[in-house]
Amino acid sequence: MRKRIVAGNWKMNLDMEKGMSVFSEIVHMVNDERNGTQEVIICPPFPLLNQFAKLGAGIVHVGAQNCHDQASGAYTGEISAHMIKSTGANYVIIGHSERRQYFAESNELLLVKTKQALANNLKPIFCIGETLEERNNGSYFDVLRTQLKEGVFGLSEFEFEQVILAYEPVWAIGTGLTASPEQAQDIHSFIRQEIENHYNQTIANNTSILYGGSCNPGNAAALFAQSDIDGGLIGGASLKSRDFTDIVKALNG
Ligand SMILES: O=C(CO)COP(=O)(O)O
């Protein structure tokens, strides 16, 4: 059976002191709310990974927000999947729309990054999503299909089984405009069908597909009640311990 997951993406927010304080609160609160079938993950900026991996104590897991596509070498300023793993983190977000947009990351590059992550025993949280223009001009199914086909569908079955997918419509990220539960379910069921077409039904049924984009304590329960939505990838609301924990609670049903 697939896992239900809530992951927080802190993006480039909070410093060491504030980050430690919010994360400690989250660990404490999630410990009280915990339900063994769920996975709770926080993806802070790189400098916080090691401290958080220790503090998380297996109650809240830790992931990075990006990794480099090469194992090591002369790439000033970059961080490898191996380095991330060595901090105690177990996850990495790959292909967030902000990376695709601001750092020109292509589907092909993201496939290489995903392989690097897997080679270092990091679970990739692979993001796909359409822009507002693509939603409005009706090309979004094609866009999502291409992101899957040129990206994660380049993995073997064995590799793909380690991947968590996240559907994040770009028009819903940080805008307060959430996809309705029906709109999101529609896309999630399309993604699951694409997985079945490319791999098989068992793999499709076992893949966790998270929704991301202005998810908050007020709308999380309705989104998570959809049959193909297995949790959320949370931006802004993951920076507030109470809001984030309320979203974790919404996953309990
Ligand atoms: O980009 C996101 C998570 O990766 C979503 O961000 P918001 O929840 O702030 O819209």
> How confident is the model at residue 33, as a pLDDT?
75
Of the candidates 224, 214, 219, which has an alpha carbon nearest to the alpha carbon of residue 253? 224
Concerning whether 78 is annotated as a catalytic residue, the answer is no
> How confident is the model at residue 5, as a pLDDT?
97
Mean pLDDT calculated for residue range 168-188: 94
Written as six digits, the tokens of 103 are 């750092």
Exposed e or buried b for every residue in 66-87, given b needs 16+ CB within 10 A? bbbbeeeeeeeeebbbbbbbeb
- Quick one: which H or E segment has residue 212? strand 209-212
The pTM of the full predicted model, rounded to 2 decimals, is: 0.97
Vertex 191: Cα angle to 121 and 138 (nearest 5): 135
Residue nearest to atom 6 of ligand 1 (CA): 235
Was 58 annotated as part of a binding site?
A: no
96 Cα–ligand 1 center, Å: 10
Q: Are 215 and 209 in contact (CB under 8 A)?
A: no
- Quick one: which H or E segment has residue 6? strand 4-9
State the chain's mean pLDDT as an integer: 96
> How confident is the model at residue 176, as a pLDDT?
85
Mean pLDDT calculated for residue range 118-145: 97
Q: Which amino acid is at 119?
A: A
Was 171 annotated as part of a binding site?
A: no
Concerning whether 194 is annotated as a catalytic residue, the answer is no
pLDDT above 70 coverage of the chain, percent: 99
Report the 10 Å Cβ neighbour count for 45: 16
Is the complex ipTM more than 0.95?
Answer: yes
> How confident is the model at residue 151, as a pLDDT?
97
Q: Is 9 in the pocket of ligand 1 (CB under 6 A)?
A: yes
24-72, pLDDT tens digit by residue?
A: 999 999 988 766 678 999 999 999 999 999 999 999 999 999 999 999 9
Q: Which amino acid is at 196?
A: E
Written as six digits, the tokens of 225 are 């009640």
Q: Is 94 in the pocket of ligand 1 (CB under 6 A)?
A: no
Among residues 61, 96, 98, 134, which one is catalytic? 96
> Between 174 and 235, where is the model more confident?
235
Mean pLDDT calculated for residue range 106-124: 98
- Strand 123-128 relative to strand 231-234, pairing: unpaired
Mean pLDDT calculated for residue range 225-239: 98
- The correct CATH number of 4-252 out of 3.40.50.300, 3.20.20.70, 3.40.50.1820, 3.30.300.30 is 3.20.20.70
Q: Is 236 in the pocket of ligand 1 (CB under 6 A)?
A: yes
From 97, 214, 238, mutation site for ligand 1 pocket: most ligand atoms within 8 A of C-beta: 214
> How confident is the model at residue 197, as a pLDDT?
98
Boundaries of every domain in the chain? 4-252
> Between 253 and 41, where is the model more confident?
41
Distance in angstroms between the alpha carbons of the first and the last residue of the chain: 17
Q: Transcribe 132-173 into DSSP letters.
A: HHHHHTT-HHHHHHHHHHHTGGGS-HHHHTT-EEEE--GGGT
Q: Is 233 in the pocket of ligand 1 (CB under 6 A)?
A: yes
> How confident is the model at residue 1, as a pLDDT?
81
